[in-house]
């Protein structure tokens, strides 16, 4: 990518630009490989000027990861006015669509930085907990009970759903909708083992 011409930006605009470039690069490499020299070059500024906006590489990394996680959280937040089944489906669709659209960034964070970059572990943990709360919310909206095993079942489903999304063959027509249906079925089946959600009725 060609170097970008230096333009006069406000501090907030410059920070946003640098974070956006960091997110672009994160789609190509791991967080450990994210070079502040490359970020500065693409922004058309010196590396020293980059550290005028971020006190350290650690702070820059945290800003990039925070932006990626905020984007993910927004994508998986359904309209609160939706009915329970529609809410669950909107949550699943948001999760699937976001990961499919930003697969490499998702993998770089979830399977890369989570274990190798302690500077961002807390941010990733917060995001994971927010996602777990949404799964719990979906289960409760469907009438699922709170039981001692609800939390580990929720986390087991999250691991299952994540693996399905990042490995599902999506090149064929209709594959995305097929994936959403598969994940929805797994949600109902796995969490329904605790006690079948009342909203879906008795098993036939």
DSSP line for 14-70: HHHHHHHHHHHHHTTS-STT--HHHHHHHHTS-HHHHHHHSSSHHHHHHHHHHHHHH
User: Domain end: 61, 81, 100, which one?
Assistant: 61
Distances (CA, A) of 59 to 54, 63, 87, 111, 167: 6, 6, 36, 21, 32
Query: Domain limits at 35?
Result: 11-61
Residue 1 covered by a domain: no
Mean pLDDT along residues 104-125? 76
Sign of the alpha-carbon dihedral angle for 127, 132, 134, 137: negative
CATH number at residue 17: 1.10.10.60
Rounded to whole angstroms, the Cα distance separating 114 from 127 reads 11
Same-domain pairing of 25 and 118: no
Please tell me the total count of domains within the chain. 2
Mean pLDDT along residues 6-26? 89
Same-domain pairing of 87 and 183: yes
Same-domain pairing of 129 and 34: no
Residue 44 covered by a domain: yes
Whether the CB-CB separation of 94 and 146 falls below 8 Å is answered with no
DSSP 8-state symbol, 112: I
Question: pLDDT tens, 24-56?
Answer: 998 888 888 889 999 999 999 999 999 999 999
Residue 204 covered by a domain: no
Question: pLDDT tens, 80-98?
Answer: 999 999 999 999 999 999 9
Same-domain pairing of 139 and 45: no
Which pTM does this prediction carry?
0.81
Same-domain pairing of 172 and 151: yes
State residue 199's pLDDT score: 47
State residue 202's pLDDT score: 57
Same-domain pairing of 103 and 162: yes
Same-domain pairing of 52 and 137: no
């Amino acid at each position: 990518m060609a170097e970008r011409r230096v333009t006069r930006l406000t501090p907030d605009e410059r920070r946003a630009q640098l974070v956006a470039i960091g997110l672009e690069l994160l789609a190509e490499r791991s967080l450990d490989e994210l070079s502040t020299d490359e970020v500065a070059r693409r922004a058309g500024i010196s590396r020293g000027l980059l550290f005028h906006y971020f006190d350290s590489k650690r702070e820059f990394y945290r800003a990039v990861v925070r932006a990626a996680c905020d984007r993910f959280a927004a994508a998986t937040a359904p309209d609160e006015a939706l009915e329970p089944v529609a809410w669950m489906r909107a949550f699943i669709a948001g999760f699937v669509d976001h990961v499919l659209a930003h697969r490499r960034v998702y993998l770089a964070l979830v399977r890369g930085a989570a274990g190798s970059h302690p500077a961002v572990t807390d941010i990733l943990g917060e995001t994971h907990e927010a996602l777990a709360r949404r799964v719990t919310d979906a289960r409760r909206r469907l009438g699922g009970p709170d039981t001692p095993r609800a939390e580990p079942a929720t986390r087991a489903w999250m691991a299952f759903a994540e693996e399905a999304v990042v490995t599902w063959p999506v090149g064929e027509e209709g594959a995305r909708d097929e994936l959403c249906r598969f994940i929805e079925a797994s949600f109902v089946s796995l969490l329904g083992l605790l006690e079948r959600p009342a909203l879906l009725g008795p098993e036939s």
